[in-house]
């Protein structure tokens, strides 16, 4: 896209700024082991040392979130990863 008007440039700028990315200081800790939970869960540590449990789908979004990657590519990567879990989606 080659924005020509001020409005087009502003829209392009907002689009680039609003792409998903991992929060600064986020640490992926991995899958919870031996929890007895039916669905897999994943842990991440935030920059403030809070540990948060994520679903498999949300974990994949965090893993693939990258501001330099187009949203469609992020969606495709998440869909592919989620579909390969073998749980009959």
CA distance 28 to 16: 25
Distance of CA 5 to the CA centre of its chain: 32
Domain ranges of the chain: 23-83
SS3 57: helix
Q: Is the pTM of this model over 0.85?
A: no
How far, in Å, are 9, 10, 11 from residue 5 at the CA level? 6, 9, 10
Q: Is the dihedral of CA 68, 60, 52, 28 positive or negative?
A: negative
Instruction: pLDDT band for 17, please (50, 70, 90 cuts).
Output: low
Q: Give per-residue pLDDT as tens, 30-49.
A: 999 887 888 889 999 999 99
CA distance 33 to 36: 8
């Amino acid at each position: 896209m080659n924005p020509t008007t001020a409005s087009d440039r502003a829209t392009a700028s907002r689009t680039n700024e609003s792409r998903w990315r991992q929060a600064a200081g986020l640490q992926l800790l991995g899958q919870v082991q031996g929890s007895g939970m039916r669905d897999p869960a994943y842990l991440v540590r935030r920059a403030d040392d809070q540990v948060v449990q994520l679903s498999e789908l949300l974990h994949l979004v965090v893993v693939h979130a990258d501001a330099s990657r187009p949203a469609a590519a992020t969606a495709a990567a998440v869909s592919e990863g989620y579909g390969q879990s073998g749980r009959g989606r």
